[in-house]
Chain A
């Protein structure tokens, strides 16, 4: 929660003061302005309809491909045994990873009181929910018999038989379902006060009614706020270990196997770092166009992006370290199977994929050491696309080269996805975008009430320099961080 603030000339001359991570919004003066400007973003435009329909078409393409696959069998995808997991699992892990940044920004940074999260967390959290919704599809559609997927869920049945809880796949089921439930709950709880605000500010009757229902009769009363703050804190506290655990669990799918290149204790932290890295990339991909098209530059300021870019740079370095560690362990482990696999992965059959991964994930992000690039939205957007590509390839490089070059030389093989794989990959992006599009025009993409916390409240009395004596409590001033000068 914020407190009373006022401008301070000296600080203006300093460079942006990000480390305090308490970024103010100079462009936003009043509460009314917040409600007005956010509510303004909820009017659909032609461009939006165009984007939505494109997304839906992509989704339908993917859906058609999947129906064809269900009818004919998985053989229509590019699997070439022993490469039994292909594009689908790669994309599954990719989307799960995307989700993680959202929870990181909305929950972990909340616990750390990192102010720059305030304006971007809503978009990030929504991204999380939709990314998990997308990821959740893939374990089902990569099944040989998708109509039997519910056998992975423990439920009483007349066969008297249950799932096998030692299997990482069952852990996945629990992890993913938990993650989806918790993050969507977190999103909705955060939305409650905003629904209330929109309910009261919305002129269009239908929407007004809908927001009314969604707001569950939220009244902004002090009683509600008190419990709300608590609950929000605990949800954040739960989400934090969840972020770390979910992708660790996903990484167990591979670390628990004996396949060379999978069987590594490094995987859990390695995957989590990668997940957050890819997620931040996706946040840039999403937030930069939004702040542009929705005229929210004075909400999502360059300072926010700058701070996020530093996080991105950091995770990129972590991921790079993980890559090197993998190579190193593969070499020093002395296991010839492991070694031959690594050689084949980096310099052999799969060199191109490995180098796409290294370039996009380790080399290009180094540019973020330069502040001018960190504050250059065009570059950030371009880079974020590269990061998404690179992180998809990271998963590809981890999974398929391993399977294609295992213990049994007689079964070494190649792998090439087919049109069905690509169509379903496209469909997953369509599905994700569709939901996100629907979200941004119907729900506030910037958290109204949380932004109000950091804009100066209306005061009756002008403040003396050393502070004020309103309520008997003494309120200290805080230096304001300069924002974007446009």
Chain B
């Protein structure tokens, strides 16, 4: 996997560069930014994140389990306490709710990890420490013959540094 990474100091410069690169159709583009910005939102893609699916499924599973286990246990060994019905759904709603939240949120995290490809052990190519501090970055994955064009475009839009990675 090889390509070009460009380091930008200014936000608007980055935005311009990305638009230009998209026109160039050099290859997959990825943007690095110290903080999420509206300006960069949806430049690359407009598909909404699918994390919410994990959340939904996890929450439903939790709620179901939360009802099932106490009811199963009550019927498994029926003992009367306080003259109340052996399985009574009202108190079990609380268990159900708590498990919905628990499993739902854990599923969300799992969703984030899976969709966002974390955790990853190795810093893959095309990353620069400055991206987490103050600078914006653009990574274009492209074959060697296109690298010249990409580099030129980035420089033109004010990249402070452009380097090829392989």
Contact = CB atoms under 8 A, between A and B. Distances in A.
Direct interface between A and B, CB < 8 A: yes
Interface of A: 1, 3-4, 30-32, 35, 154, 160-166, 170-171, 174-175, 177-178, 181-182, 185-186, 189, 192-193, 196-197, 199-201, 216-231, 234-235, 238-239, 241-242, 245, 249, 252, 449-450, 452-453, 457-461, 468, 470-471, 473, 475
Contacts of B70: 165
A473 B43 CA distance: 11
B40 A174 contact: no
Nearest to B85: A166
Interface of B: 9-13, 15-16, 19, 30-41, 43-44, 48-49, 51-52, 55, 69-70, 73-74, 76-77, 81-82, 84, 88, 91-92, 94-95, 97-99, 101-102, 104-106, 108-109, 111-113, 115-124, 127, 129-134, 139, 158
A199 B132 contact: yes
Contacts of A4: 11
A446 to B, nearest CB: 13
Nearest to A186: B105
Give the secondary structure class of A's interface: helix
B133 A200 contact: yes
A52 B76 CA distance: 50
A457 B11 contact: yes
B134 A32 contact: yes
9 contacts: A4-B11, A160-B76, A161-B77, A163-B73, A221-B32, A230-B48, A231-B111, A234-B51, A471-B43
Nearest to A183: B105
Nearest to A188: B109
A174 B108 contact: no
B105 A185 contact: yes
A415 to B, nearest CB: 27
A212 to B, nearest CB: 9
Contacts of B55: 234, 238
Contacts of A164: 81
Contact of B116 (A186, A196, A228): A228
Given A217-B118, A458-B134, A468-B12, A165 B73 contact: yes
Contacts of A220: 32-34, 131-132
Given A189-B112, A231-B111, A182 B101 contact: yes
Contacts of A227: 49, 51, 111-112, 115-116
Residue picked from A196, A219, A460, most chain B C-beta under 10 Å: A219
Given A1-B37, A230-B51, A450-B35, A31 B102 contact: no
Given A3-B37, A162-B76, 7 more contacts: A35-B132, A165-B92, A181-B105, A200-B130, A221-B31, A221-B139, A238-B108
Contacts of A1: 36-38, 41
4 A-B pairs with least C-beta separation: A216-B119, A452-B35, A217-B120, A200-B129
Contacts of A31: 34-35, 133-134
A406 to B, nearest CB: 18
B102 A178 contact: yes
B31 to A, nearest CB: 4
Nearest to A473: B39
Contact of B94 (A185, A222, A249): A249
Contact of A165 (B10, B51, B95, B122): B95
Nearest to A242: B101
Contacts of A199: 132
A154 B33 contact: no
A459 B136 CA distance: 11
Nearest to A180: B102
B109 A231 contact: yes
Contacts of A166: 81-82, 84, 88, 91
Contacts of B76: 160, 162
A241 B102 CA distance: 12
Contacts of B118: 192, 216-218, 224
Contacts of A165: 69-70, 73-74, 91-92, 95
A217 B132 CA distance: 12
A460 B31 contact: no
B97 to A, nearest CB: 6
B49 A230 contact: yes
B95 A231 contact: no
Residue picked from A165, A252, A452, A461, most chain B C-beta under 10 Å: A165
A216 B120 CA distance: 6
A347 to B, nearest CB: 34
A171 B51 CA distance: 29
A39 to B, nearest CB: 10
A181 B102 contact: yes
Nearest to A222: B31
Residue picked from A31, A181, A231, most chain B C-beta under 10 Å: A231
